[in-house]
């Protein structure tokens, strides 16, 4: 224990905590991830939202209500909630985590996400957490699954076990960057399968991903789980794309 503490203290000196946005050095015991200046450029997902997909209504006088997309066709998941708006500093930091192989940023984000209050989500209702899986080819290229890192932190905080092998991505798909909603939906169609339907049937499941863009990926995952007789699927993401 003494050696572990000494190593942690040494690590704080050599690699002191920094603002993820601008790199400002924090006090070694600081729990901050962004400095006050950078925090001003961050939007948290709060206020009036669609109770299903979680899109925000910044100027709506009607309060929280179903959005047009969810009225037209309900997604397979029951709820989708996110912490940040995917823009500015958050977008850059997530890119460093996801494509720059910066696991330390991922660990900080994961800790923050696990501590985030999702006020309308009762975590005691859920049997396990599933991270959105990567195809084995993509996993080998990247070296890690960013969604699993986020899911592990929630597992530790909420005491809900992670099952990372139950949902599998058996179809290799093109990167969805630059695709519109229709193209994303078609690209991801049929990409997932459940390894053991009996483990899914009758359970409430939390599905974790890094970014919600159009919802095509998480909805296809939820569709696969619901067809395997999952009772309810709730989506939690670190960030999401918001309408301006």
**Encoded tokens for 87:** 């823009």
Phi, psi of 76 (to 5 degrees): -75, -25
pLDDT at site 24? 85
Q: Tokens representing 29?
A: 């015991």
Rounded-to-integer distance, Cα 33 and Cα 56, Å: 24
Q: What mean pLDDT value characterizes the chain?
A: 88
Residue 185: enclosing H or E segment and its boundaries? helix 181-188
Same domain, 65 and 126: yes
The answer to whether residues 59 and 22 belong to one domain is no
Q: Domain check: are 168 and 67 in the same one?
A: yes
pLDDT band for position 63 (50/70/90)?
Answer: confident
pLDDT value, residue 12: 43
Rounded to an integer, the average pLDDT of 127-153 is 95
Are residues 29 and 96 located together in one domain of the fold? no
Query: 182 and 232: one domain?
Result: yes
pLDDT tens-place string over residues 199-226? 999 999 999 999 999 999 999 999 999 9
Using one digit for the tens of pLDDT, what is the confidence trace for 179-195? 888 889 898 999 999 99
Write the pLDDT tens digit of every residue in 11-52: 344 457 778 888 888 877 676 778 888 888 899 998 889 999
- What's the CA angle centered on 244, arms 80 and 68, to 5 degrees? 50
Q: Which of residues 147 and 33 earns the better pLDDT score?
A: 147
Neighbours of 70 (CB within 10 A): 18
Whether 105 and 161 map to the same domain: the answer is yes
The reported pLDDT for the residue numbered 168 is 96
pLDDT bin (cut points 50, 70, 90) of residue 60 is low
Domain identity same for 150 and 161: yes
Domain co-membership, 116 together with 189:
yes
Percent of the chain whose predicted confidence (pLDDT) is above 70? 90
Percent of the chain with pLDDT over 90: 61
The H-or-E segment that residue 79 falls in is strand 79-85
pLDDT value at 73 more than 80 = yes
Tell me: do 26 and 52 sit in the same domain. no
The encoded tokens of residue 101 equal: 């192989």
231, 112: one domain:
yes
Taking 90 as the threshold, does the pLDDT of residue 178 lie above it?
Answer: no
Number of domains in the chain: 2
Instruction: Find the range with the poorest average confidence among 1-5, 33-37, 143-147, 185-189.
Output: 1-5
Q: What is the CATH number of the domain that holds 195?
A: 3.40.50
Domain ranges, residue 7: 1-40
For residue 140, give both structure tokens: 């080998």
Using DSSP's 3-state secondary structure scheme, residue 29 falls into coil
CA-based nearest residue to 244, from 51, 43, 97: 43
9: pLDDT strictly greater than 80:
no
Query: Where is 212: in which H helix or E strand?
Result: strand 204-212
Residue 76 pLDDT greater than 60, yes or no? yes
């Amino acid at each position: 224990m003494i050696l572990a503490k000494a190593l942690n203290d040494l690590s704080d000196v050599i690699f002191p905590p920094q603002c993820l946005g601008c790199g400002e050095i924090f006090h070694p015991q600081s729990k901050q991830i962004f400095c006050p200046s950078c925090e001003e450029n961050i939007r948290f997902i709060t206020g009036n939202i669609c109770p299903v997909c979680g899109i925000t209504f910044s100027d709506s006088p009607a309060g929280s209500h179903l959005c047009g997309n969810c009225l037209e066709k309900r997604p397979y998941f029951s709820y989708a909630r996110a912490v940040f708006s995917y823009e500015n500093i958050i977008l850059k930091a997530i890119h460093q985590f996801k494509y720059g192989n910066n696991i330390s940023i991922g660990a900080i984000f994961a800790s923050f996400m696990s501590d985030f209050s999702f006020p309308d989500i009762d975590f005691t209702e859920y049997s396990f957490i599933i991270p959105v899986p990567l195809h084995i080819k993509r996993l080998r290229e990247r070296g890690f699954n960013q969604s699993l890192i986020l899911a592990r932190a929630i597992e530790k905080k909420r005491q809900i076990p992670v099952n990372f092998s139950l949902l599998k991505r058996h179809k290799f798909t093109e990167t969805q960057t630059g695709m519109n909603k229709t193209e994303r939906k078609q690209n991801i169609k049929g990409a997932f399968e459940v390894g053991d339907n009996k483990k899914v049937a009758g359970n409430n499941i939390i599905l974790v991903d890094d970014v919600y863009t159009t919802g095509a990926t998480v909805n296809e995952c939820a569709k696969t789980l619901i067809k395997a007789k999952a009772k309810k699927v709730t989506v939690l993401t670190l960030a999401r794309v918001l309408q301006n």
